[in-house]
Amino acid sequence: MVSEHAAAQVLVASNRGPVTYSLEENGELTAKRGGGGLVSGLSAIGDSEAALWVCAALGDGDREAVRRGVGEPGVRMLDIDARVHADAYNGIANSVLWFVHHMLYQTPLEPAFGPEFRAQWASYETYNRAFAEALAQSAADGAAVLVQDYHLALVPGMLRELRPDLRIGHFSHTPWAPVDYFRMLPDDVAEQLLRGILGADRAAFLTGRWADAFSECCVAILGGTSGTRIGVHGLGADADFLRERSRRDDVEERLAALREQIGGSGAGDRKVIVRVDRTELSKNIVRGLQAYRELLATRPEWRERVVHVAFAYPSRQDLAVYRDYTASVQALADEINSEYGVEGWTPVVLHVKDDFARSLAAYRLADVALVNPIRDGMNLVAKEVPVVSDEGCALVLSREAGAFEELGEDAVVVNPYDVSGTAAALHTALTMPPGERAERTKRLAAAATALPPAQWFLDQLRALGD
């Protein structure tokens, strides 16, 4: 394990790290490694530079690992007080900043920023300061530090004060709110968030749209971006990994099980609309199901000829609004099945237990992929399905997904609030001629994999050094 005072040349900071620990009944700790762009990127650096990942201990297993001094080389896990972390993570990051950037508030009733918010904001400051201090301790002279996401928006400014010699980058994985929406935040908090990110030498975003929105907020609230450079890096799908992983035996098994659930008299006689999402409010699953119901109501020729395979994996179930949303998804799927289902045909096949192999199996058999978020920083599902699809797949894509910037030309584009428009788009996608669908899939896959995760990370690192 890297000691607290090891001098790292490249540092990454994020709420969630590359490894999580579980505490077993016998007292043993088991480690589970994650994947993704940051893991790929740090691996791509190689051993020539000392790299360190600074993250938070997220659960009892992580905290126990920190207390026992258990860890992995290149990872420093911070045991921040559990109450402080809960207030910063659930109270501010997920219940305020996420809602602002995804424009999720029901504004007649919320937000209402009072004493509880101020107490949680103080925890958010404390949480960010813990990261800034750890990074300052661990960074070599002139090191490059890549700070990730809305959880750590104050870190660049705090770190700049502690270590002016460092090259600091901040990357936002979410959308950025337009000025009028961002200004719902208390004035001092809005200013603090912007100044926090502007402590970086370079602030980067997934699309030009989000970068422009950030710059516009800075101009409107602060008068400018204070010399911080703004960049765009559209994270792509990892084609090699996806293609290899989607051909393994466990995926083949789930493919067979899904085909059985879809049913039909022969291979391919039923079309399949696939969606794979967390039950995150911004993903717009309920309106997607409403659109499918309207398709069945207005286009009766699709009854018994199409199945909607919907994977809605529970997210943030410690927040009541997310539990309610998950229940709404289940209830609507049940309604559709009750209204239209007949023996041998279940219109909606809903799965709520997270299973990556099953998701890949669904990608492979999708005739249509439905990706209709209210607002999304990127949306990698939109990029992954065309890469994995066996027979080519028509993509129904919200214009409010970051992926629209790269994939919109070859997708069937929808306004995510327009249920009838989405139903019509599903019909268009289902009736797309096979040749056109195959050509579009080829172009979608090429665009989706233009900046694979390792390259995405290395490009940011290179830009920070320029």
Question: 439 is written with which tokens?
Answer: 């050509």
Tell me what pLDDT residue 319 has: 75
Tell me what pLDDT residue 1 has: 33
How do the domains of the chain map onto residue ranges? 8-235+455-465, 239-448
How does the average pLDDT of the chain come out, rounded?
Answer: 93
Topology at the third CATH level for domain 8-235+455-465: Rossmann fold (3.40.50)
Tell me what pLDDT residue 50 has: 85
Average pLDDT over residues 361-389: 96
Least confident of 49-53, 165-169, 291-295, 363-367: 49-53
* pLDDT value at 122 more than 60: yes
Average pLDDT over residues 66-87: 94
Question: 203 is written with which tokens?
Answer: 């602030």
* pLDDT value at 266 more than 90: no
* pLDDT value at 38 more than 80: no
C-alpha 153/C-alpha 171 separation (Å) is 9
- pLDDT (tens digit, 9 = 90+) per residue, 425-452? 999 999 999 999 999 999 999 999 999 9
Tell me what pLDDT residue 46 has: 61
The reply to whether 239-448 shares the fold of 8-235+455-465 is yes
Q: Give pTM, 2 decimals.
A: 0.94
Tell me what pLDDT residue 36 has: 67
Tell me what pLDDT residue 285 has: 95
DSSP state of 93: I
Least confident of 30-39, 363-372, 376-385: 30-39
- pLDDT (tens digit, 9 = 90+) per residue, 306-318? 999 999 887 777 7
User: pLDDT-derived band of residue 37, with 50, 70 and 90 as boundaries?
Assistant: low
Q: Among all chains, which residue has been given the structure tokens 């794979």?
A: 276
Superfamily of domain 239-448: Glycogen Phosphorylase B; (3.40.50.2000)
* pLDDT value at 258 more than 90: yes
Tell me what pLDDT residue 260 has: 92
- Percent of the chain whose pLDDT exceeds 90: 84
DSSP assignment of 403-437: THHHHGGGSEEE-TT-HHHHHHHHHHHHT--HHHH
Sheet holding 271-278, edge to edge: 348-351, 306-313, 271-278, 368-371, 394-398, 412-414
- pLDDT (tens digit, 9 = 90+) per residue, 171-229? 999 999 999 999 999 999 999 999 999 999 999 999 999 999 999 999 999 999 999 99
In DSSP terms, which residues pair with 75 in a beta bridge? Answer: 53
C-alpha 38/C-alpha 18 separation (Å) is 8
